[in-house]
Structures are given as structure tokens and as C-alpha cells.
Amino acid sequence: MFDNLSEKLGGILDRLTRRGALTEADVDAAMREVRRALLEADVSLDVVRSFTEKVREQAIGATVVKSVTPGQMVVKIVHDELVATLGSDGQSIDLNAVPPVAIMMVGLQGSGKTTTTAKLARRMTQRDKRKVLMASLDIYRPAAMEQLAVLGRDLDIPTLPIVAGQKPAQIARRALEAAKLGGYDVVLLDTAGRTTLDEEMMSEAAEIKAVANPHEVLLVADSLTGQDAVNLARAFDQRVGLTGIALTRVDGDGRGGAALSMRAVTGKPIKLIGTGEKTDALEDFHPSRIAGRILGMGDVVSLVEKAAANIDAEKAARTAERMRKGQFDLSDMREQLLQMANMGGITGLMGMMPGVAKMK
């Protein structure tokens, strides 16, 4: 998602680092370029202004200009300011409440609410060993409830039985009761989306929230919609109250503006990012890692985590042994390729490696 921005910023900062001494005029010129790059990436104007202003202030400070490697110092300032804009220390889903902890998903139609619900349920079940119940409150779109039920069956995660004729708030109440009775840790409430923000949608969401008293209210927003996603977040927060944002389609060719503006404009943290259609394509949002990716410094931490989750250490040792003995054959090769595909393929891996962005 950050390819374009990454390329531009990388170029600007590269030119700075290659120069020996830096004058105030050099910094100003670079900041003008940074400003243009951010605006092109669809970052909101206010955020761009405050970002470049803060970077400039620090960059023309005496310690930078007089340091041995002023360019490097500016890169670090830009990096740190990016991290601050994205939300400093990342925040993940908070389950610290009396179970069953309700988590409510809201958002426009097609933003990825149902998919994200399933992704989250899968992660909490498999990784965090929680007992999770999913419930669809979407009584409007035909087959919406069935969609969640199918996902639940595929993942072997229970969904609330479908009862025809109930209102969303009634279903929410039933879901909480079922979760209480069944000894569930978490109950995920997948709500209906509309094509536009309307009063009916907002008041329904507010009603569900009042009934379910969710510990987290997550806005699921499509990163491809750029600034619209940010405005949407503001509107939802004012009317319903949000605890965080799940940004989907980060694997697409969005320009990154939504991710960069979201926190600064709404004050709400991005807690999750969706990186694909499959139910395992969900990641926590780590500002420092994203800043690293944007600046082409790579994201080695995510790479290592991905490897740890996908590579079977024992199998790998066996393969290495076979290779040493000269027994490595086509089926070993196939195994290797499959593991790589699991980790997001070559492009997925390359994006996380330091310096590769510039090579591309």
C-alpha cells in the first residue's frame, strides 16, 4: 500500500543523506518535497502541515546541521515523526473485561466487517486460546447471516443460531445471553453495513451498543477509500463512539493516506490491519514497523513473526539435512515453495526486507 510514498520519501531522504553538510535551505527544499509526497499519498492536509512543520523544526536545529551525518539525522527525525503520527506505541484489541467480552464491528457496506470478524475469531481461538462466539446482526442483506455461518463452519468456530424475524438489538441480547450460558470468553457482533452514512444506520448501531455494552467498538474501514475512511471514522466516533479502527485491504494499492491520517484526525488508534482475503490475513498495527516499511527500512520484526508462525522448525531441519546429504528432491522443493507462499510469496517477503523497496 505504501509503495508510492515509500519510493518518493526514500528518494528525497537519499538525496539528503548523500550530501555532506546541510543548510536550512536544503532542509526547506526537502520538506517541500516531503509535503508534496504526503499530499499525493492522500494524507489529510492538516496532518501534512503539522508533520512537515515538526520535522523542519527539529531538522534545522543546531545538533542536526552540525552533526557528522546530518542527512541520517533527518531520516531519523522523519521516522520518529511518522511513528508519532501513526500512534506511537501500537494498541491491540483489549480483552481485559468480565467475560463474555463483546466486540462490535461497524462500518460501511463491503468494508470487510464479516471477513474481519472471522479473522479476529480465528486468531483469538487459535493463537490466544479463547472461546469465541460469532453473531451476525445483519438482517438486511440476504445471505449475510449465512455468510458468517459458513465462515464459522470452515474455521470450526461457533456462530449464534439464526432466528428469523428478530431485530438487530434483539439478536445482540440473545448473543450475549448465549455467550454467558455457554461460558464464552468473547462474543463478536458483526453488524450490517449501508452504502452511505445515514441516520438509520447510526441509530441502529447506537442501539446495539446500548444493549451489548461492547468493550471494543471497531470501525472496519477500507483503506482504498483514502480520506473518506477518515471522515467516516470521525462521524462514527461522534455518533456511536469507537474504541479503535480495523483498516482493511492494506494489501491493495491504496495510497496510504488513510493509515497516516486516521490517528491524528480521529484520535482513535488503528488496532488491526487486514492484508488479504483469507482468514489468516490479519495483523496488529505497529506504528514503528509501518514507519520502517514506509521508509524502506524494512520490517524485520514482522518478517520473523511470520516465519515463526508459518515455518515448521522440525520440517526445516529435516529438509536442511536432506539437502546436506544430497537427497533434496522435487517434493522437498514443493514443500519449500508452499511455505514461501504461506508467508505471502516473494513480494510479501521482499516488502519486509530492508532496502528492497529501493531496489524495486
Strands 216-222 and 270-274: unpaired
Distance CA 161, CA 172 (A): 12
Restricting to residues 113-152, which ones interact with Mg ion according to CB under 5 A?
113-114
Closest CB to ligand GTP among residues 79, 113 = 113
How many residues of this chain bind Mg ion (CB under 5 A)?
2
Provide the minimum distance between the beta carbon of 226 and Mg ion in the complex, in angstroms, as a whole number: 22
3-state SS class at 345: helix
**Dihedral angle at the C-alpha atoms of 283, 193, 101, 286, nearest 10 degrees?**
20
With CB cut-offs between 5 and 8 Å by kind, which of Mg ion, ligand GTP, none does residue 8 bind? Answer: none
- What 3-state DSSP class applies to 100? coil
Cβ 229 to ligand GTP, closest distance in Å? 13
Tell me whether strands 216-222 and 244-248 are parallel, antiparallel or unpaired: parallel
SS3 call for 21: coil
Q: Are 233 and 262 in contact (CB under 8 A)?
A: yes
- For residue 159, give the DSSP letter: B
- Binding of Mg ion at residue 279 (CB under 5 A)? no
* Per-residue DSSP letter, 139: -
Closest to Mg ion by CB, 113 or 286: 113
- Using CB under 6 A, list all residues that contact ligand GTP: 107, 109-115, 138, 141, 144, 193, 248-249, 251-252, 274-277, 281
Rounded to a whole number of angstroms, the CA Rg of the chain reads: 23
Distance in Å, CB of 287 to ligand GTP, minimum = 19
Gap between the Cα atoms of 159 and 286, Å rounded:
30
C-alpha–C-alpha distance, residues 283 and 18, integer Å:
35
Q: Return the number of the residue (152 or 276) whose C-beta is nearest ligand GTP.
A: 276
- Evaluated on CA atoms 239, 145, 244, 9, the torsion sign reads negative
* Closer by beta carbon to ligand GTP, 12 or else 242: 242
Residue with Cβ nearer ligand GTP (71 or 226): 226
100 binds, among ligand GTP, Mg ion, none (CB under 5 to 8 A by kind): none
Q: Which is nearer to Mg ion, 74 or 148 (CB)?
A: 148
Q: How many other CB atoms sit within 10 Å of the CB of residue 247?
A: 27
Instruction: Work out how close the CB of 181 gets to ligand GTP at its nearest, in angstroms, rounded to a whole number.
Output: 27
Of residues 31 and 219, the one with the C-beta less far from Mg ion? 219
- Show the site string, 78-117: x = touches Mg ion by CB under 5 A, - = not: -----------------------------------xx---
| Binding-site partner at residue 115 among Mg ion, ligand GTP, none, CB < 5 to 8 Å by type | ligand GTP
Interacting residues toward Mg ion by CB under 5 A: 113-114
